[in-house]
Amino acid sequence: MIDDYILQKDRNIINSYLKKNEFPPKEKYIDFSWNPTLFFAKIILASQNHTALTETAIHTEIVEYNQAKGTNVSLDYLLNRFWLRNVLGQIKISGAVLRLFLDDKIVEIPKEIKDDELVENFLFMEFLVKKYKYEDSRTCEISSEVFDSIYIGFKNFYPQMSELDTLLQEYSITKEEDKYVFVLWRLELKVDKGFLSSYILYSLFQIRDSSQDAKSLKEWLIATKFIFCPEAFESLSEWHKERFIKTALELLKNEYDLEDGRENEKFLLNEDLSFCSFYSAKDIILRNGLSDYTIESKEPFVQWLKFFSNRERGVDLLDFSIREDCVKLLQSLLIYAIKNPRVINVLDLFENKSYLLYQTIFYLIRFNPTHLLAFIDDKRYGLFFFCSFIILCEDSFKKKFADEHIPFKLVDKYTILFCEKNLICKENYHDASLLLVFLIEGMYNSKWPFLYRNVYEKVCSSPIFKKPTKSCVAAALDCFEKNAKDIWTQRIWQIKISEFKYLFFFYIKAESFEKKQCFDLIKTLYENSVLKNEKFNYWREWNEIDSFEWGVFFNQLYELDELKVFCLDIFNYLNFDESESDFDKKYSGPKKLRLHLKLLCTVYSEWRKYESNEKAERLEECIVIILQNCFVNKIESKKIAIFDLLYESNLGFDFSTELFPQVIDVLKSFSEPNRKKVLLAMSKGDDLRLMTKTYNLMDDEEDQRFLKGLMDFSTDVEKSISFFDDYISFLQDLYNSHINNEFADKLFEKLDSSIKNRAKGLIIAPFVLNAQILKLYSLFWHNNQMGLLEYKSPYKDPDGRYKDGLISLENERYFLLTRMYMKNGKNEEAQKNVKKIRCQDSDYFALKYKSFALYISVFYSKNSCNYAELLKQCDSLIRVTKNKMGENKKISYEGLQYLYYAKASLLEKIGDCDKLYQFYNSVENNYHTKLDFAKPVATCLLNKGRNIEAFKVCNAIRPSEKEKTEYEKLKKSIPAEDEISRLASSYREIICLSKEDRFKVLPDVVCKHRENVGSFVIHSIYFCLEKILRKIKTLKLLPEDNKTDLIQITLEAYLKTLNYENDKDQPHRGLSSSKKQAGELDFVLDFDTYSVVFEAVRCDSFNQNVRKHILKIFHYDSSKRIFVNLLYYEGNNSDFLNHWEIITQKTSNNSDVVYPHNFKCLSCKDISNEFGNASIKVLKNTHENELEFYHIFVNLSYAD
């Protein structure tokens, strides 16, 4: 149990923020000379309390009803049907029954019901409900004589006590004939509940001996129905306190109604009510405020989570009020246990009483949140208490930022405490897994994801999850398989994002068997929730799914040779109904294809950076096949135009406008033949809009020329455009591309004509403004200076609604005119014209204009006195622009580039090289490729003699065709001698490294496989073999020894630059029949402290000669770290793979090859997939004492 001292320190803060029963402060009495609480304690004890039905009262009601109606109503029948409940000696009416009969609608019993007993008891329940109603509507009654006696006694003792009439009015007490009547709950805000509850309990204990303590506690619970205080027992003497605790424990242990065997009570109850009332079972449940009333899972935590998912709709599922008295007693016991942890273990009461646990937690959330935290270290129930605290924080602070609230610091504190006290020290992997499930679900489906994300990060940083053990991962996967269906929100039309998140978390951290389990589960989940999901929708999850480590997943697909099958499987699950409307067609199957394509593009981009070319090329083939089917609607051949909605105003924004640029970015990395395949497939779709956008996104001029040749400008493209905004967007792309300005001008004339027809009376509208801005750009692109000077908007704004829009239009004219003057070398006109721009904060383009004006000022400024002020303005605008971009990430701010250019130019003029280079490294990488931005940086560095940095800046620039002359001039200004000298020095440093480390510095373009010596050497041999196999005719003519010599020479030449070479001092023994020394090893690479040893032999069958060569290698190297056995195959080409299977089996079988002592083969792995050449197979065998033995099988008959 968490130390009470820790809790008390945080109690005030927690309760002040999270307590649910906070009420406005009570009115202060001017005169406190009398005690109203003590007065009402005596009144309540002397009254007849009707808030609870006793067994005696219900028996009396049944007898009288049977006598009056001639029926045979039975209490046992009512209890067995759960219409009535007997809890702690009180008879409770089910909440569902109360709602049914207190509703305005008349309930009639169907005539077809022939069960007389059921009908009689059902009608009795209607009578009982209408007589007693809800408990909080019932009253307490006290005779006038007793009440007056108590009042007079108090009045004599407290003369200043309120007069009787005033007292009755103040406390809502009414007089009816010879009795006074009052409602208990009305006293709740007007008396000291703690003192009142304590005094009643004390009085009951005083008037009875200990043998009647159970009766006293039951009466106390009835008397304090609405004024209960769980701390009431604390003011008792130690003897009375001991009696209270003992009796409360006995009552709870013996209460039959709390047992778990009754969990289906609500189901039975609703079936009864639906049968009797013409309502369906579903209707009855909905009338109770719930739609999901069955909990099938046997996992207690899942049951609890289901229960709490309905917390906002009430807890009638479990008839909370029926067991409320049990929960009250338990509250007192919990408080006692917190302060006396060694005396009782109160949590034992929850054993087989899960509903009691759920309701107790619910009660704590509402009335005493601090007590939730006391039990978070309990291995059985700590998870329930901790997660309840998180839910409480969520309900209290939804839609808030965590750092705005003090309690969030406490959440961090108790999260760490929970992990330390419950999960880590107890190795509680089961609860750790459930906690992760709970937090991930909250991250995606709660009212305050920010809270769950922060707690998730805290939990993941704890040792139990930072490096999970094998047992932890196994428990997590077991938890997933047993509880995934019940615990996560099942929305069949969405990606099961929570489950993906959970599985990927462990997939990245798992090893061997568990990793394979995760892989299989992810693969199945993807198939079921994405590929086979007929109601697929992922609006919310579009930007989440590709954030997982799909690269690792696809790596395993690649290793298992399942990559192509997995990638292309989506075509088998596309659902496309020809009878659907055009709108539905665009939103059904294409969604799946888009998502799948997005994942593939994400993985491909990652592989291109970090994986081998062979692997990326394999994935490239798959993407090309898919893309070839993405531009034409031919469903019969599984072709779908998934980018149809690229414009269509904002429809499909998340899909197309984000995905398409990513696809083109990936396409630019493809080989030239594959790029052309995709562009050719795109042209078959006859979508000139898509092809124009592609043209603008492609960098390679040859690709642009190829695509331009495929475009058909005779297409009546405007018929396929539905909105003016889309028409304008297409024209912008067309003008930007300069593919066919004549065609663009004709389209613009049609657009202008359509807008004039639409804008009747030449009244301006938003789409009219956009078209007029496009007209200005058309004049700019045509270098029509006179047109821009004379332009005036022909449209009217009679009511002034578009005043700001017209100002923006005029500003845009001045902006473009200034740019034209600059381009044409008219500097004075440019400086004058830019001052005509009227910047307004309400203007969407205001930041661009301000940035551009500043850029002009810097561009033409020659007064060094102004530089500091200009720099200050520049920094201020950059900050404002970035803040705006942070608020709206969908909008790009054109002005930022002018600010970057201006700042770079200013710092160069000032000569502050350090700040300039620091600023250069701080901006986005795409600006490094811009000559206008990078040139002042390189120039400044050169002026300061910092040639190396200048060389790096120049190398990052990607000039356009027009800029190449200027770029070459800049590059030639850099002294090459310094750079060559520096590189030579670096090379000397590399050669001086130990041979064990030297290969690790190779760049990716040479070799990406630098993780260990074995990988490096095997990939180096593969590189040489692939080159040699291209000369297969020459190779086949060579004897075995000469083939080995050729490989040795090629490999030495390949590795010579790093000073790796064959060890020529190896021992020689005897002569072979081929005149080569029999004991000589074919090739040895020395790595200082150990060697990599090669042996080569012809192998058309696995015979004794092959075995000898395999074993021979063990005698000639003492380090025994890495061996390589090269096997030449010259047999029948069709039998190559069969022989490879035999080699795999034989070399890994310790009976077929008897390896030396302490070097038995432990495992084998076919790693041929890493290389991508069907004629070269590679087997990696792991032996005892960390020996790696590679067997390379080369097919010299592949061309036969």
Q: DSSP assignment of 1155-1185, as one string?
A: PPTT--EEEEEE-GGGT--TTEEEEEEEEGG
Q: How many residues does the chain have?
A: 1200
> Across-strand partners of 1096?
1126
Q: Is the dihedral of CA 159, 160, 166, 168 positive or negative?
A: negative
| Whether residue 805 is found in the same domain as residue 888 | no
| Whether residue 930 is found in the same domain as residue 970 | yes
Nearest of 1124, 1185, 1191, 1125 to residue 1160 by alpha carbon: 1185
pLDDT at residue 964 in the model:
83
| Whether residue 807 is found in the same domain as residue 945 | no
Convert the pLDDT of each residue in 652-682 to its tens digit.
Answer: 444 446 778 889 999 998 988 999 999 999 9
| Whether residue 1087 is found in the same domain as residue 1190 | yes
- Contact status, residue 270 vs residue 284, Cβ threshold 8 Å: yes
* Residue 521 domain flag: no
| Whether residue 828 is found in the same domain as residue 958 | no
Nearest of 739, 820, 808, 745 to residue 784 by alpha carbon: 820
402 Cβ neighbours under 8 A, 6+ residues apart: 408, 411, 450, 451, 454
* Residue 695 domain flag: yes
Give start and end residues of each alpha helix (H) in 888-945: 895-910, 913-922, 931-943
DSSP state, residue 634 = B
961 burial via Cβ count (<10 Å: 0-12, 13-18, 19+): exposed
DSSP state, residue 528 = I
Convert the pLDDT of each residue in 860-870 to its tens digit.
Answer: 777 777 788 88
Domain-terminating residue out of 197, 225, 254: 254
Q: DSSP assignment of 1137-1154, as one string?
A: HHHHHHHHHHHH-TTTS-
Structure tokens at 323: 């067991």
Strands 140-143 and 179-182: antiparallel
The HSE-up count of residue 635 (CA atoms within 13 Å, CB side) is: 13
pLDDT at residue 381 in the model:
87
DSSP state, residue 81 = T
Q: Which amino acid is at 861?
A: S
Domain-terminating residue out of 828, 844, 860: 844
Structure tokens at 1137: 């793979």
Question: Has residue 32 got a pLDDT over 70?
Answer: no
Question: Has residue 470 got a pLDDT over 60?
Answer: yes
| Whether residue 953 is found in the same domain as residue 877 | no
- Contact status, residue 358 vs residue 292, Cβ threshold 8 Å: no
More confident residue, 1027 or 204: 204
Convert the pLDDT of each residue in 955-998 to its tens digit.
Answer: 888 887 778 888 888 888 877 655 566 566 665 666 666 666 65
Find the mean pLDDT for residues 885-889. Answer: 61
| Whether residue 806 is found in the same domain as residue 780 | yes
| Whether residue 859 is found in the same domain as residue 839 | no
Q: How far apart, in whole angstroms, are the C-alpha atoms of residue 472 and residue 497?
A: 22
Distance, CA of 769 to chain centre: 40
Convert the pLDDT of each residue in 789-805 to its tens digit.
Answer: 898 888 888 888 888 88
| Whether residue 772 is found in the same domain as residue 872 | no
Convert the pLDDT of each residue in 223-247 to its tens digit.
Answer: 888 888 888 888 888 888 889 999 9
DSSP state, residue 31 = -
Weakest-pLDDT range from 142-146, 195-199, 403-407: 403-407
The HSE-up count of residue 522 (CA atoms within 13 Å, CB side) is: 25
pTM of the model: 0.64
Q: How far apart, in whole angstroms, are the C-alpha atoms of residue 866 and residue 888?
A: 33
- Contact status, residue 189 vs residue 153, Cβ threshold 8 Å: no
Q: How far apart, in whole angstroms, are the C-alpha atoms of residue 1072 and residue 330?
A: 92
The HSE-up count of residue 760 (CA atoms within 13 Å, CB side) is: 0
| Whether residue 642 is found in the same domain as residue 593 | yes
Return phi, psi of residue 500, to 5°.
-60, -45
Element (H, E) at 969: helix 964-972
Q: Is the dihedral of CA 41, 46, 51, 55 positive or negative?
A: positive
Q: How far apart, in whole angstroms, are the C-alpha atoms of residue 717 and residue 861?
A: 47
Q: How far apart, in whole angstroms, are the C-alpha atoms of residue 1165 and residue 210?
A: 77
* Residue 71 domain flag: no
DSSP state, residue 30 = S
* Residue 612 domain flag: yes
Find the mean pLDDT for residues 601-605. Answer: 89
Domain extent at residue 1033: 1009-1195
* Residue 615 domain flag: yes
Convert the pLDDT of each residue in 807-822 to its tens digit.
Answer: 888 888 888 888 888 8
Q: Which amino acid is at 923?
A: V
Instruction: Calculate helix-pair angle for 741-758, 724-737, nearest 10 degrees.
Output: 160
| Whether residue 740 is found in the same domain as residue 819 | yes
Structure tokens at 574: 């596309």
Q: How far apart, in whole angstroms, are the C-alpha atoms of residue 999 and residue 876?
A: 48
* Residue 185 domain flag: yes
Phi-psi region of 162 (alpha: psi -120 to 50; beta: other; left: phi over 0): beta
- Contact status, residue 819 vs residue 786, Cβ threshold 8 Å: no
pLDDT at residue 67 in the model:
94
Q: How many domains does the chain have?
A: 6
Convert the pLDDT of each residue in 148-173 to its tens digit.
Answer: 999 998 888 888 888 889 889 888 89
- Contact status, residue 769 vs residue 752, Cβ threshold 8 Å: no
Domain-terminating residue out of 949, 967, 992: 992
Distance, CA of 409 to chain centre: 23
Q: Which amino acid is at 263?
A: E
pLDDT at residue 1078 in the model:
36
Return phi, psi of residue 137, to 5°.
-100, -5
| Whether residue 883 is found in the same domain as residue 928 | no
Q: DSSP assignment of 165-219, as one string?
A: HHHHHHTT-EEETTEEEE-GGGGTTTS-HHHHHHHHHHHHHHHS-GGGHHHHHHH
* Residue 564 domain flag: yes
* Residue 571 domain flag: yes
- Contact status, residue 232 vs residue 197, Cβ threshold 8 Å: yes
Question: Has residue 575 got a pLDDT over 60?
Answer: no
Residue identified by tokens 């394979």 is 516
